[in-house]
């Protein structure tokens, strides 16, 4: 049965990209493998079955690296995003505290206009996703992310912290 979200909270889906090819020229250009594409499809179906029965997220923030963009493109075959943006600060070496501040700013701006973001997706890389998860949760989890895995955080906008409610590693 799909899990419902309370009115005061946003569900944050923090996802690592699918499996990518080995490093060849530069890290930014690595592409998803066929297996990585299949992983993303499994994760999309899990999100739909458990959290996105309407097949939508309100906002997606995506790393500009090719494998993250391809992951989002694969997800978009099954889930639609009301709005998406490529964001240079959620790369592997990104600053989780700065990203947390930006997410809070986005959530508060939308709530202030009467358009709360109920579901937000962030597609990025290790180690950023692991550090970001600890940054936004009340209790750090020190979770590692396999490729195409996703953590689900019930995030309280007023408290600016959340609780890890699921971590899917297909």
Indicate whether 1 belongs to any domain: no
Indicate whether 2 belongs to any domain: no
pLDDT digits (tens, 9 = 90+) for 125-157: 999 999 999 999 999 989 999 999 999 999 999
Number of structural domains found in the chain: 1
Residue range of the domain that includes 29:
9-168
pLDDT digits (tens, 9 = 90+) for 90-115: 999 999 999 999 999 999 998 767 78
Instruction: Determine if the pTM surpasses 0.85.
Output: yes
Helices (H), the chain: 34-50, 66-75, 96-112, 128-136
Give the contacts of 160 (CB within 8 A, at least 6 positions apart). Answer: 100, 104
CATH number reported for the structural domain that contains residue 94 in this entry: 3.40.50.1240
Distance CA 43, CA 63 (A): 18
**3-state SS assignment for residue 105:** helix
């Amino acid at each position: 049965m799909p899990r419902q979200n309370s009115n005061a909270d946003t569900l944050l889906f923090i996802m690592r990209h699918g499996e990518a090819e080995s490093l060849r020229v530069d890290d930014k250009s690595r592409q998803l493998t066929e297996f990585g594409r299949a992983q993303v499809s499994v994760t999309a179906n899990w999100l739909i079955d458990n959290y996105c029965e309407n097949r939508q997220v309100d906002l997606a923030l995506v790393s500009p690296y090719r494998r993250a963009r391809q992951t989002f493109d694969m997800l978009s075959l099954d889930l639609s995003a009301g709005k998406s943006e490529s964001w240079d600060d959620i790369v592997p070496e990104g600053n989780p505290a700065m990203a947390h501040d930006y997410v809070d700013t986005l959530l508060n701006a939308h709530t202030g206009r009467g358009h709360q973001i109920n579901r937000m997706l962030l597609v990025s890389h290790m180690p950023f996703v692991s550090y970001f998860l600890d940054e936004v949760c009340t209790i750090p989890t020190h979770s590692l992310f396999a490729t195409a895995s996703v953590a689900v955080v019930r995030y309280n906008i007023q408290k600016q912290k959340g609780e890890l409610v699921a971590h899917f590693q297909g």
